[in-house]
Chain A
């Protein structure tokens, strides 16, 4: 018994408090932006100021502090924060990684290598591309509705993904797998500043009801051979996400009359890709439900034919938009972000071996890509006739 007791005491004592770090010694890093300046990496690190969260006597202090370091290697640059901060940078709560366009184009190898090796960070943080020249100023914007701009970006991404679908969330884990897999191309959401970025860094940005700078997440960036190829516009991004099956909800509108529009909310959608090597064909099948939200034309939805016609019109609109997006991406950038090559690899491995080398030269540009949309209209709203129609009847 005595021996065991001594053993337990020794066990506790000899561990030497390995990895002991008091909470007040940590600088909690929530976001990092990586730029390429003068042949070295420039890191912009957003660190939470915990004192501000505690009580109102620190009201004049900023919510977060931004440190900027620069070095040839990422690790050296991260460690250099110690020169300026009184605490050690703690990376396990990293939520955002923002890459500048230049870094996303030429230096994805270095980024992936560093973050795979780094044991402290989780691989569940979001990866974004910053539109415009620099990634650093995106993290310096002081946002009105949330205290931390990283939190603001994170939540915007989340709500956009849920309700509009023009961005999809890409965690580092997804990013890494797409990077390592030679058959898939990466897509990343895009972060941009609307307004004056210099004004956005001042505290006044949250003191007026109209912020002079706001952060916006509204589009996707497509890659080719792990290099940034193009930042899509908002509609193309929604279509891309629908094709990839990443879409939860979105709004689709089409012209039902002269200067009159009908708007539909897609409640759920799912996408399935089928490839046929013999006919050299790939078909996307989009299924889902939609509800009628707005009808500016005079239509009587009580009649079944009208409802059916509306559904056909909706499916046609979606189909044309999707085909448009596919052709733009294919013809202008020749990149297979849809995962068609991967589908060949999974379902027809023998055929895949034949086409692997000449995929982008011969096969992909000539592939017959079709879209089959069958979205069903479920809810038609509380007024079936529509205001225009009901008014005329009375």
Chain B
């Protein structure tokens, strides 16, 4: 389920046919059921042109896979499947790795952990000092760690692209899920290379395909496929085409303003 403090978000969810739970003494409203593709939507969607929205959605889906997979794939390639890289790139990687005493998996773990600490502290302190914190984090952790030979520059790139991609998602539940699966992919990559990545990916697909959110399948518009739902998932169709509710949410599929034939 999604938690929100914004009234317009709740309204939109109710109009879609979802359930909102409002409670005493709690600043959040719970919206349910929530499926995988809901985490890729944003509130401004209905106010912008569909082609631009489609672009940002595609970017979000790409960012999701980047943030989950990149550290795992990096570990797998540099420790097992070196033949997959072009020679020049491999030489450059080898040069950067040559002064680092730790295994690639430990290096990745160290960097992701330090980033999580940074993000958590950024959330807790007042915004006036958060810019100072970013400077400390980015410059001191990044630059100094590379110079001290604790991590390699390429690892900094990998971790930063991972973490920047993860900032696209704001629901805490979703971020927690991403964090766990990223760890699993890193473990798989460090134990069995690319094969491990593939195995963990299969496990990942099985897992999210078997989740039910309040009785509704978690991968709803994709599998089981619903054509109406797909119109507003990865690609958003123009608003005049979106005149039906998604069937899994409501039997009353005609929206207000939609054509009744």
> Is residue A60 contacting chain B, with contact meaning CB distance below 8 A?
no
Contact with B along A17-33 (1 / 0, CB 8 A): 11111111010101000
Residue of chain B at shortest CB distance from A51? B98
Question: DSSP class of A's interface residues: helix, strand, loop or mixed?
Answer: mixed
By beta carbon, the residue of chain A nearest B187 is A12
Choice from A17, A52, A93 contacting B191 with Cβ under 8 Å? A17
- The interface residues of chain B, by DSSP majority, are classed as helix
The number of chain B residues with a CB under 8 A from chain A is 28
Question: Does A325 belong to the interface (CB within 8 Å)?
Answer: no
Instruction: Say whether B28 faces chain A, with CB atoms less than 8 Å apart.
Output: no
Task: List residues of chain B with CB within 8 A of the CB of A52.
Answer: 95
Selected from A11, A50, A51, A92, the residue in CB contact (under 8 A) with B82 is A92
Residues on B with C-beta less than 8 A from A22 are 78-79, 97, 103-104
Q: Are A23 and B87 in contact (CB under 8 A)?
A: no
Shortest Cβ distance from B88 into A: residue = A151
Asked if B196 and A12 make an inter-chain contact with CB atoms under 8 angstroms apart, the answer reads: yes
Query: Can you name 12 A-B pairs with beta carbons within 8 Å?
Result: A8-B203, A19-B80, A20-B79, A22-B78, A23-B82, A23-B93, A28-B94, A48-B91, A50-B94, A50-B95, A50-B97, A50-B98
The tally of residues in A whose CB lies under 8 Å from a CB in B reads 27
B82:A26 contact, CB within 8 angstroms = yes
Q: How far is the CB of B223 from chain A (nearest CB, A)?
A: 21
Within 8 A of A (CB), among B68-105: 78-80, 82-83, 87, 90-100, 103-104
| Interface 1/0 per residue, A49-89 and B, CB below 8 Å | 01111100000000000000000000000000000000000
Pairwise interchain contact B94-A48, C-beta atoms closer than 8 A:
yes
Nearest chain B CB to A115 CB, angstrom units = 16
- B33 interface residue (CB < 8 Å to A): no
Q: How far is the CB of B47 from chain A (nearest CB, A)?
A: 44
Does A90 make an interface contact (CB < 8 A)?
yes
Q: From known contacts A12-B188, A22-B103, A24-B98, infer whether A50 and B193 are also in contact, taking CB-CB under 8 Å.
A: no
Give chain A residues whose Cβ lies under 8 Å from the Cβ of B191: 12-13, 15, 17
A250 CB-CB contact with B under 8 Å: no
Q: Is B163 positioned at the interface, with any CB of A under 8 Å from its CB?
A: no
Complex CA gap A90/B96 in Å reads 18
A343 to B177 Cα, complex, angstroms: 63
Q: Which residues from A are CB-within-8-Å of B99?
A: 51, 54
Known: A12-B196, A17-B191, A22-B103. A54 touches B83 (CB 8 A): no
